[in-house]
Amino acid sequence: MAKQKLVLIGNGMAGVRTLEELLKLVPDHYDITVFGAEPHPNYNRILLSPVLAGEKKLEDIIINDDSWYADHRITLYKGRKISRIDRRKRLVMTEDGLEAGYDRLLLATGSVPFILPLPGRDLEGVIGFRDIRDVDLMLQASAQYRHAVVIGGGLLGLEAANGLRKQGMKVTVVHVLDTLMERQLDKPAAALLKCALEENGLNFLMEAQTEALLGDGRVRAVRFKDGLEIPADLVVMAVGIRPNIELAKSAGLHCERGIVVNDTLQTYDPRIYAVGECVQHRGSLFGLVAPLFEQAKVCANHLAEYGIGRYQGSVTSTKLKVTGIDLFSAGDFQGGDGFEELAFQDPSRGVYKKLVVKDNRVKGAVLYGDTVDGAWYFQLMREGTDIGDFRDTVLFGRAHMADEGREGNSVMAMADDAEICGCNGVCKKSIVDAISQKKLFTLDDVRSHTKASASCGSCTGLVEQILAATVGNFEPAPREKPMCKCTEHSHDSVRQAIVERRLQSLRSVFAALDWKTPDGCHSCRPALNYYLLCAWPESYRDDPQSRFINERVHANIQKDGTYSVVPRMWGGLTTPAELRAIADVAEKFRIPTVKVTGGQRIDLLGVRKEDLPAVWADLNAAGMVSGHAYGKALRTVKTCVGSEWCRFGTQDSTGLGVQLEKMTWGSWTPHKFKMAVSGCPRNCAEATIKDFGVVCVDSGYEIHVGGNGGIQIRGTDLLCKVATEAEALEYCGAFMQLYREEGRYLERTAPWIERVGLSHVKSRIVEDPDGRLALFERFRASQLRAQSDPWAELAQPAQRNQFLPLKQLG
Amino acid sequence: MTDWIEIGRLEDIPQHGSRVLANGFGNIAVFRTGDDRVFALRDRCPHRGGPLSQGIVHGSRITCPLHNWVIDLESGAAQAPDEGRTACFPIKVEDGVLWLKPR
């Protein structure tokens, strides 16, 4: 069967990105032909400004060179403009008479600069700022002439002005409003920007109404309504862009401001798709890169005939650089009636931050000079997090909240060999090189190519900054992050579907939610297995093959493929008999390393897989059970000696720790869950960096939650104080259950609480006694099945086979 | 030229699971996918030598338990952008019996 024919009109970023996504899915499905009006291969339009400013060369901004098209057997016609689409015959025609037939047509005709209808607009030297040709004209003008006028004080205008100034021209920026970049900045930030740009040597005429462009042949001056005339040898119009829809219109496709497309990026002719700046989707037009790339992904999926995924619009934030000044804005940053504004200003450092807040929720943000927390504010906005609990410090940034000063202000000031990712040893230069050489655009791309921020994730903010500074304007994330590449659904929506639609197995989740893969992946399967287990504790049959190896064999895999074994010691208590049994096991199985852990347990390291059942059987025989040191589960309850021995102890912390551990062991949680009980505020058990901590005081028990001593150290929040041990136990069970039901898989309690807000947790646990009791009951119900020792089960003779080789070959 | 040798039965390996053939010259991992296809690869990730047999099987791929590299069971190749390859061995199922051709 002959291959289907796909024609792409428009050789720009959105169209070619769609082809790239398509080729990833189905490399051989189509014969592809591309028509581009410009005489160049596909290049990164965002980087035209650095080319103009002389910071980059043309070849630096090419995304796909000619050989890429050849390698993928794509026929490319450069500098050939399509003049007509014949939808009946399914043909496109170039101006010079070349024809090409299509089965599917993709329009990515982009946009055209809006040229003000002024007298003199056709004079030589009057241009827009859109493509390489415009940049060439500007560079030529700068070599010959002195005076440039840029009409338009938006991002594009300022970048053009800055580039022309760097090329030695005297530049005046004309803006019709009193505020620069009014679509991204509020007045104070815009004023700071204007000041800084004036110091760099740009002139501004604000609230200026241009009346005419004067000249004879070539432009000579600009005249304003108030009679003022200024010299101009070059006029750059940067007052906005318009979707380029002429061709689509002439083919009879429905257009309004742009080519109207549905959620699958189809036009009114189902054979014709459109992406990028030329489209109008749900009433919106597009100018930033990130939404275009999201469209490309969805469109490619439908072109590949997978039929999965809908484009539902993008919530964007802009992180950008104007002449070396970092700016960030997102959401409703203007505020006004009914909104509150939190602001931080430090003029001498050149820093301004404003958050627009309503009902303790972030609705918008503007950052000037220090944008390191842009992604965090954007996340708070997207998640609708209640910031009431940290409103007083939110402007100081996330690093301040987490009591951690590791990240500096500007990553671009860091040296090339500065280590960005400490887990994988990736320095700044490797990241920059990978981004520019491999043409990476997204955080995920950078992660998979360089491994930077791919392990613990604490350097994500830095990597995002490097990405933004290297590829230009960048938007961090779509509205709801999909769970993984197998689905468009987020963690929360999958979970909701499991409960509401009573999905009881992995298979039914895959089917009901249109999973793109037959059986998920290593990322979604463990999450789904947990969500199902949490939703249906009495009936769901756990799927061991959907668990990470550690939870499958109830031991921790080590780098050499051996395992470590940690028996439970309730509250950190042990006995001579237990210690003797551990010593015997270590000798009998020649276990090379025996270590005391941070959670007051003993770790036997270097156990061979085939020995695991026998090791467990011996430990079981001495009365010990699995310590779950390997699981997303209750780990350990660390205690101090408390009032039984300590001269300062106020309560029996050890006894309470043992009770807590006996109540909670065996429960599965979204991520690991650690506890501690300290007998007095000296806090020797370090309860204030645990997921759940109790600090005993003379009058009772302080309940602390959401601490973390790991990647980002975070002290706990005080939840409340209770009077009795029984209450402490009840609050603990209720808190764990709330976390089990609301925490996303692999989300520790600390980020969970930061996401939902401590007030929310308090309202469910402290202020609602009936709700607390209900949570506690659900927790206890799920424990009925959870509290059976996995070691004892797996040490049974019938189970032992899976730990042995299938066969010995030689 | 080596001959096919019998190594066990299909049901000895759980769906989405794996078992190991112990071998003095390096273990071989035998995988069974969700749709009952079987594959045999050297039990060693091309990245840091992790035991692939202990990973998670999805589609016709295996994710290494050490650092989440994804290896294609049909070709032994690491999923891009990671680069590397693990040796594969011919394997077949006849009447529920698994046969492998070691090299």
Residue A212: per-residue pLDDT: 95
What phi-psi label fits residue A90: left (phi over 0), alpha (psi between -120 and 50 degrees) or beta? Answer: left
Q: Are residues A697 and A576 in the same domain?
A: no
List the single range of A321-325, A564-568, B25-29, B87-91 with lowest mean pLDDT. A321-325
Q: Read off the pLDDT band of A18 (50, 70, 90).
A: very high
What residues in A contact B18, CB-CB < 8 Å? none
Residue A720: count of CB within 10 angstroms of its CB: 15
- Residue numbers in B near A530 (CB within 8 A): none
CATH of the domain at B19: 2.102.10.10
Whole-number Å distance between alpha carbons of A219 and A228 = 16
Chain B contact set for A806 (CB, 8 A) = 7-8, 12-13, 19-21, 30
- Is residue B10's pLDDT more than 90? yes
Q: Is residue A496 one of the residues assigned to a domain?
A: yes
B13–A806: do the CB atoms touch at under 8 Å? yes
Does residue B103 fall inside a structural domain? no
pLDDT over 90 at A286, yes or no = no
Give the nearest chain A residue to B8 (CA atoms): A806
Contact A511/B at CB under 8 A: no
Number of domains in chain A: 7
Compare CB distances from B21 to A438, A449, A806 and report the shortest one's residue. Answer: A806
**Does the residue A799 lie in any domain?**
no
Spell out which residues of chain A touch residue B13, defining contact as CB-CB under 8 Å. 806
Same domain, A675 and A774: yes
Task: Please report whether residue B23 resides in a domain.
Answer: yes
CB B86 within 8 A of CB B52: yes
How close A805 gets to chain B, by Cα (Å)? 5
Q: Which residues of A touch B30 (CB under 8 A)?
A: 806
* Residue scoring higher pLDDT (A555 or A412): A555
Predicted pLDDT at B91: 95
Residues A667 and A755 in one domain: yes
Cα–Cα nearest to A710, from A751, A739, A760, A754: A751
Question: DSSP letter at A545?
Answer: G
Mean pLDDT of B31-45: 95
Q: Domain residues for A370?
A: 317-401
Mean pLDDT score of chain B: 93
- What strands lie across the sheet with B70-72, from one edge to the other? B56-58, B61-63, B70-72
**What pLDDT band is residue A403 in, cutting at 50, 70 and 90?**
very low
CB within 8 Å: A517 and B58: yes
Note whether A718 and A745 are same-domain residues. Answer: yes
Alpha-carbon distance of A795 to A621, in angstroms, equals 11
Closest Cβ–Cβ partner in B20, B54, B102 for A557: B54
Q: Residue A448: its pLDDT value, please?
A: 83
Question: Are A247 and A228 within one domain?
Answer: no
Same domain, A283 and A423: no
A216 occurs within a structural domain: yes
A809 band by pLDDT with thresholds 50, 70 and 90? confident
The answer to the question of residue A77 being in a domain is: yes
Residue-range definition of the domain harbouring residue B39:
5-98
| Smallest CA–CA distance from B58 into chain A, residue | A521
Specify if B84 maps to a domain: yes
Of A547, A563, A591, which residue is a domain's last? A547
User: Domain check: are A734 and A753 in the same one?
Assistant: yes
Q: Are residues A393 and A417 in the same domain?
A: no
Whether residues A262 and A332 fall in one domain: no
Same domain as A782, residue A640: yes
pLDDT, tens digit, for every residue of A315-349?
667 766 666 788 888 888 888 888 999 999 888 88
Beta bridge partners of A364: A331, A356
Any idea which of A168-172, A222-226, A452-456 has the lowest mean pLDDT? A452-456
Last residue of one domain, picked from the residues A547, A577, A592: A547
- In a domain? residue B37: yes
Residue A118: inside a domain: no
Q: How confident is the model at residue A421 (pLDDT cuts 50, 70, 90)?
A: confident
Domain identity same for A335 and A461: no
Cβ within 8 Å, pair B48-A545: no
CATH number, domain with residue A261? 3.50.50.60
C-alpha dihedral over A552, A553, A555, A560, to 10 degrees?
-100
Contacting residues for A98 by C-beta, under 8 A, at least 6 apart: A77, A80
pLDDT confidence of residue A406: 40
Q: How many domains does chain B have?
A: 1
What percent of chain A is modeled with pLDDT above 90? 70
Residue A517 lies inside a defined structural domain of this protein:
yes
Q: Establish if A478 belongs to a structural domain.
A: no
Tens digits of residue pLDDT in A533-551: 999 999 999 999 999 999 9
Q: What is the CATH number of the domain that holds A359?
A: 3.30.390.30
Q: Based on the domain organization, do A223 and A356 belong to the same domain?
A: no
